[in-house]
Amino acid sequence: MSIPSSLRPRRAVTGPRLGTRSTRTALVALALAVGLTLTACGGATSDATTDAAAGGGSGSGTAGAAPTLTPGEPVTITFETYNLLNAGPWTDTINGLVADFEAEHPDIDVTAQAPQGGLANLTGSVQQQLVAGNPPDVAQLGFGDRRFAAESLGAVNFNQVFGDEAVTTQFDGSDGQHPFHEKTRAMGDIDGDTYGMPYVFSTPVLWYNADLFRAAGLDPEQPPTTWAAFKEDALAVTAASEADGGYLACLGSGAGDWCLQGVIRSNDGRVLAEDGSTIAWGEDGSVGALGMWQDLVTSGASPDMDTTDAQEAFQTGKLGMFLQTSAVQSALSAAAEGHFELRAAQMPAFEGHEAVPTNSGSALYSFSQDPAKQAAAWEFIKYMTSDHAYTEITSGIGYLPLRVGLVDDPDGLQTWAAAHPLIEPNLEQLDRLEPTVAYPGDQYGQILTLLTDSATEVVYRGADPAATMQASQERAQGLVS
């Protein structure tokens, strides 16, 4: 996307350039930077609640009257987004949308910035700025960050500050033509109120190499629908070629736990009980799910490698199947073109259960305390979750549009969707979607780490599933506040 200089954001931050790295390696790095960091929990956290943030979460607008803009009075707001850490379509798309917004709202100047400390410090960046008394007016944080953002960082309660009707109207769409998918509306909620406006997300998609399927005597029209079939097909691929069978990108660097939550939920397990405060990953469903995954590795159906290496292997035709976020679609498609036939299917299920995909992705939060900045931030958030924004974001980056009706709109994404049929499994899974859970308390990041570390010990180090996960559950419960 080429942005006229007159419309460029005044202080937009661009992502790192690719330098002399090879195209293939660059594609892997970029895809992982976006896809794998769109996890349920975002970045590092602090164990201390920030006093400077105390006002926002309880609503800082005037009781009974939402903050409004005064025509002719300029307002400057900051937009902190991790998409600006990635060069190419991510940075270009976001900068283009900021420029479009400023053109339509000449009194609002948006300073786009990347988070301080990078991808590993998303909530920490907001907290540091809060302590300094200058928080970002709008920040892109993971869905798993929502409880910490609301309760400890003082994110604005949109229902309280702008009213239920305004929030509902945003979800429904101004004309009601392209409402948010019903399953996405509560993704940024805490106790029924919206603190994070759902922004971008994806579900776990089973990418597979149709050429390797054919070489193994498998039918590419019949991808595995269960984990038992996944194992069988993976072993067939390894027996017929030098490629590895299949890989679940649900653990490892940058993976978070959003995909892991989906695997566990699909076996009727939970990482967090429905009461929102009891850690539950030591129960039978979770233990059984990890036992299945351990068997994939010990049987040779799934390799023991890092997610970065697995994606590179898939992109070079050395891996048959790859369960990963749909956000890597553009990178996988580019790598496969002219080399192998790339296909996509829904997440496999456990025998006797329906697959339950959970979501990666992020929401837009506001930390403004000034009424004028709050009003400007709300206008910007509405714009960044509008029909126009999702048309640009989906076609430019590859995220799912939360306003899914756009894929059938000739003035929206119909043409793009027809040319990119790999989006279909992602869309088909939405009706079964369950939002990723957000762990309670300021130590939620440590809770997540306990889960992923113990799951890694089970899957890749052969640890006893029940004993390991039960011990980990007990330690994590001690961190719940």
Q: What does the pLDDT look like over 160-206, one tens digit per residue? A: 999 999 999 999 997 778 999 999 999 999 999 999 999 998 899 99
Q: What Å distances lie between residue 414 and 126, 391, 404, 418, 457, CA to CA?
A: 37, 10, 11, 6, 45
Q: What Å distances lie between residue 405 and 148, 174, 355, 408, CA to CA?
A: 32, 14, 24, 6
Report d(CA 346, CA 42) in Å as an integer: 25
Tell me the DSSP string of 320-361: EEEEEEGGGHHHHHHHHTTT--EEEEPPPB-TTS----B---
Q: What are phi and psi of 364, to 5 degrees?
A: -105, 125
Q: What is the mean pLDDT of residues 324-351?
A: 93
Q: What is the mean pLDDT of residues 414-442?
A: 90
Statement: residue 46 has pLDDT above 70: no
93-110 burial code (b ≥16 CB/10 A, e <16): bbbbbbbbbbeebebbbb
Mean pLDDT of all residues in the chain? 87
Report d(CA 398, CA 383) in Å as an integer: 18
Judge residue 268's burial from the number of C-beta atoms within 10 Å of its C-beta, 0-12 exposed, 13-18 middle, 19 or more buried.
middle
Output the pLDDT for position 174: 75
Domains present along the chain, CATH in parentheses: 5-25+38-202+360-432 (3.40.190.10), 204-358+443-477 (3.40.190.10)
Q: Give the global pTM.
A: 0.82
Q: What is the mean pLDDT of residues 137-151?
A: 94
Bigger pLDDT: 400 vs 297: 297
Output the pLDDT for position 17: 29
Handedness of CA 156, 162, 168, 172 (dihedral sign): negative
pLDDT-derived band at 90 (thresholds 50, 70, 90) equals: confident
Question: Which of the 8 DSSP states describes residue 76?
Answer: E
Statement: residue 53 has pLDDT above 60: no
Statement: residue 26 has pLDDT above 80: no
Residue type, 268: D
- H-helix or E-strand containing 150? helix 146-151
Report d(CA 68, CA 264) in Å as an integer: 45
- What are the residues whose beta carbons fall under 8 Å from the beta carbon of 91, sequence distance 6 or more? 14, 15, 83, 84
Q: How many CB atoms lie within 10 A of CB 240?
A: 16
Output the pLDDT for position 15: 34
Bigger pLDDT: 311 vs 24: 311
- H-helix or E-strand containing 473? helix 465-477
Statement: residue 366 has pLDDT above 90: yes
Output the pLDDT for position 472: 97
Output the pLDDT for position 64: 58
CB of 204 within 8 A of CB of 262? yes
